[in-house]
């Protein structure tokens, strides 16, 4: 029988964002004769390591560069981890390294150098494992090429010409056509640009021979091939190579029967047309600043057991609701943390809360109120339950809590820059406030900053008022008082019980909207992250 979670996963209109990454492994100061085994785990593997692949064995080299490529399906909304074990060719265990996949994506040039470990300690040989990743297989960037030509005197007066771009197919060992331009009429042609996917003309491990054929069309139905020029993607991207000889050709694919030059092909312009995916923005410096706030309005602070008067089971339920959200989001922030707050209660010894009456810090001051993971947050949550000088303040509205967090965000020096994306997660136990008030506030807010808001209902209260934001409901466009429309996935609600109180499923179902949200903002040109310096993408002559 299909579980409730599986059924809901099928019903949702927000598909998971999967990206295929390629991993490359190398090492330094290994014993002679080694190979690598690569493992992967998530919360959905019950924390068991699953073997992804093993590399080839390399003998006689203490600094191996393994040629085997390992493929990994990356999912933003899951906490994914990698483990690389180094084995001798005699199957003796040499050591291992572990890392979160998110840390690899955020690393400079998507490359990590990790000290090899045995057991819980590092080896004494200063051995390192290097892990590098790219998304070339999923890349859909294109290159747009504009060519022109000068012909020798006897070939000038051709009525119409056009070009076609071909590449050498490794499997069939013959040239295959990729694109062609429209005919140009004139003695010194500059043809319409041809545009192809970069991965069609470029390979990481080899040079792909390319050929530009020049076609003459003296009359309809009398097309001939005048000649061809030979080139490669690497040459196209070089600034010191601008021209290519056109040699006379014959045959349907421009096979060369003599080397007589009939003219010169020149590259008029090149342009990289980028079709960025979410993972590209992560590679290029996207920084997700996240805040999470937990509802304390139903807590009994006089309970000396530290369970808030509701028992250990309920305390664990609340912890489950925020744990995986924090663990997934933290690595995507520059400081590798999530800011966490409480609301629905007040410190009686501090009438003027530093964050306002709507929410309070869960740890120390503003600089200290950042959490690297769920275990640290669980400890702070339980310590707060023991604070008998706190008093509940039921009735705080969702809008007021979000406003308080936004005011904290506004202290971020990069709030309006192109470096930031923001998320707010509220763990609530009751619904207070007018939903229209919430929409009126969030609509203009979402136009001025890149943000997504998540609301998780915990417990047995009625959350009917939030059904208009439910990720599993047929959602309609909501409008603010001025008639402006709220983007459907700006505010996302789910009742924790709907997901069988499973924190890993909660994070996956809510956070899977983030990749498409980020890409949408980038395409609108509002919140483009600071791009790293790249090679020259355009050339005009």
Alpha-carbon distance values, 127 to 86, 95, 224, 519 (Å): 11, 9, 62, 39
Quick count: other Cβ atoms within 10 Å of Cβ 497?
Answer: 14
Count of CB atoms within 10 A of residue 464's CB? 9
> 49 forms bridges with which residues in the sheet?
none
What is each CA distance from 447 to 173, 345, 404, 409, 444, in whole angstroms?
53, 31, 18, 16, 5
Q: What pLDDT, on the 0 to 100 scale, is given for residue 528?
A: 44
Do residues 281 and 160 lie in contact, with contact meaning Cβ atoms separated by under 8 Å?
no
* C-beta separation of 25 from 129 below 8 A: yes
The answer to whether 147 and 163 are in contact (CB under 8 A) is: yes
Upper half-sphere CA count for residue 99 (Cβ side, 13 Å): 24
Domains of the chain: 16-138 (2.60.40.150), 142-273 (2.60.40.150), 290-524 (3.40.50.410)
Which residues have a Cβ under 8 Å from the Cβ of 454 and sit 6 or more positions away?
325, 423, 424, 425, 426, 492, 493, 510, 511
Give the angle 472-505-72 at the CA atoms, nearest 5°. 115
Helix (H, G, I), strand (E, B) or coil at 163: strand
Helix, strand and coil percent figures for the chain, each rounded to 5: 25, 35, 40
Which pLDDT score, from 0 to 100, does residue 125 have?
A: 64
pLDDT in the model for residue 351: 59
What is d(CA 345, CA 291) in angstroms, rounded to the nearest whole number?
A: 18
CA distance 26 to 510: 36
Q: What is the mean pLDDT of the chain?
A: 87
The H helix count followed by the E strand count for the chain is 11, 30
> DSSP class of residue 255?
B
Q: Which of 46, 27, 331, 61 is closest to 38 using CA atoms? A: 27
Please calculate the CA angle 390-393-394 and round it to the nearest 5 degrees.
140
Residue 443, H or E segment:
helix 435-448
Helix, coil or strand: residue 399:
helix
Work out whether the CA dihedral 336, 134, 35, 33 comes out positive or negative: negative
Q: What is the DSSP code string of 42-84?
A: -GGGTT--EEEEE---B-S-SS-B----EEEEEETTS--EEEE
Residues 6+ positions from 182 with CB-CB distance below 8 Å: 162, 191, 192
pTM reported for the whole predicted model: 0.84
CA distance to 51, 68, 82, 96, 103, per residue, from 38 (Å) = 6, 11, 7, 10, 16
Distance between CA atoms of residues 279 and 262, nearest Å: 46
Q: Mean pLDDT per 10-residue run, the chain (541 residues)?
A: 40 58 96 96 92 96 95 95 96 94 95 86 73 90 94 72 91 86 87 93 88 86 86 92 84 55 92 91 92 95 90 96 97 95 88 63 88 96 93 90 93 75 96 93 92 96 94 90 93 96 96 92 61 38 36
Q: State residue 401's pLDDT score.
A: 96
Buried b (16+ CB within 10 A) or exposed e, 277-302: bbbbbbbeebbbbbbbbbbbbbbebe
Residue 75 phi, psi dihedral angles, 5° rounding:
-130, 115
- Is 473 in contact with 513 (CB distance < 8 Å)? no
Check residue 341 and give its pLDDT. 96
Q: How far is CA 62 from CA 55, 70, 285, 298, 532, in A?
A: 15, 21, 34, 61, 33
Rounded to whole angstroms, what are the CA distances from 217 to 153, 190, 258, 271? 18, 16, 22, 28
Q: How far is CA 214 from CA 9, 152, 231, 451, in A?
A: 53, 14, 14, 51
pLDDT at 124: 53
Closest-CA residue to 294 (of 415, 385, 159, 412): 385
Structure tokens at 385: 């339950």
């Amino acid at each position: 029988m299909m579980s409730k979670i599986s059924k809901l996963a099928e019903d949702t209109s927000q598909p998971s964002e999967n990206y295929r990454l390629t991993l490359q492994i190398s090492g330094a100061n290994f014993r002679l004769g080694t190979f690598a085994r690569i493992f992967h785990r998530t919360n959905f593997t019950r924390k068991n390591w699953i073997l992804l692949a093993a590399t080839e064995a390399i003998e006689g080299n203490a600094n191996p560069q393994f040629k085997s490529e390992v493929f990994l399906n990356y999912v933003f909304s899951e906490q994914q981890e990698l483990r690389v074990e180094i084995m001798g060719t005699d199957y003796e265990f040499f050591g291992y390294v572990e890392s979160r996949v998110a840390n690899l994506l955020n690393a400079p040039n998507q490359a990590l150098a990790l000290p090899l470990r045995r057991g819980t300690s590092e080896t004494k040989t200063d051995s390192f494992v290097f892990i590098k990743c790219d998304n070339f297989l999923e890349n859909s960037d294109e290159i747009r090429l504009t060519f022109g030509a000068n012909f020798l005197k006897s070939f000038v007066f051709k009525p119409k010409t056009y070009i076609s771009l071909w590449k050498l197919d490794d499997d069939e060992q013959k040239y295959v056509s990729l694109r062609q331009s429209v005919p140009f009429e004139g003695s010194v042609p500059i043809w319409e640009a041809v545009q192809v996917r970069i991965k069609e003309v470029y390979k990481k491990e080899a040079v792909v021979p390319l050929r530009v054929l020049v076609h003459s069309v003296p009359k309809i139905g009398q097309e001939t091939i005048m000649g061809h020029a030979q080139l490669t993607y690497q040459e196209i991207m070089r600034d010191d190579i601008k021209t290519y000889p056109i040699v006379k050709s014959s045959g349907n694919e421009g096979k060369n029967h003599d080397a007589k030059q009939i003219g010169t092909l020149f590259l008029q312009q090149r342009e990289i047309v980028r079709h960025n995916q979410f993972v590209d923005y992560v590679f290029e410096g996207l920084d997700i600043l996240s805040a999470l706030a937990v509802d304390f309005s139903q807590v009994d602070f006089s309970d000396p057991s530290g369970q808030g008067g509701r028992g250990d089971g309920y305390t664990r339920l609340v912890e489950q609701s925020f744990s995986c959200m924090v663990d997934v989001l933290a690595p995507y922030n520059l400081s590798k943390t999530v800011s966490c707050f409480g609301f629905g209660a007040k410190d009686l010894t501090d009438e003027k809360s530093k964050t306002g009456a709507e929410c309070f810090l869960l740890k120390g001051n503003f600089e200290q109120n950042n959490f690297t993971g769920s275990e640290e947050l669980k400890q702070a949550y339980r310590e707060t339950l023991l604070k008998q000088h706190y008093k509940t303040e039921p009735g705080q509205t969702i809008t007021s809590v979000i406003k308080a967090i936004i005011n904290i965000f506004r202290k971020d020096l990069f709030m309006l820059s192109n470096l930031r994306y923001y998320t707010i997660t509220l763990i609530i136990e009751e619904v207070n406030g007018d939903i229209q008030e919430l929409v009126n506030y969030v609509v203009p807010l979402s136009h001025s900053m890149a943000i997504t808001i998540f609301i998780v209902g915990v417990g047995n209260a009625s959350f009917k008022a939030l059904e208009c934001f439910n990720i599993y409901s047929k959602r309609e466009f909501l409008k603010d008082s001025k008639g402006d429309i709220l983007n459907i996935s700006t505010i996302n609600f789910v009742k924790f019980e709907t997901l069988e109180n499973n924190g890993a499923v909660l994070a996956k179902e809510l956070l899977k909207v983030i990749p498409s949200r980020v890409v949408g903002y980038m395409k609108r040109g509002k919140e483009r992250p600071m791009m790293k310096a790249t090679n020259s993408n355009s050339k005009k002559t």
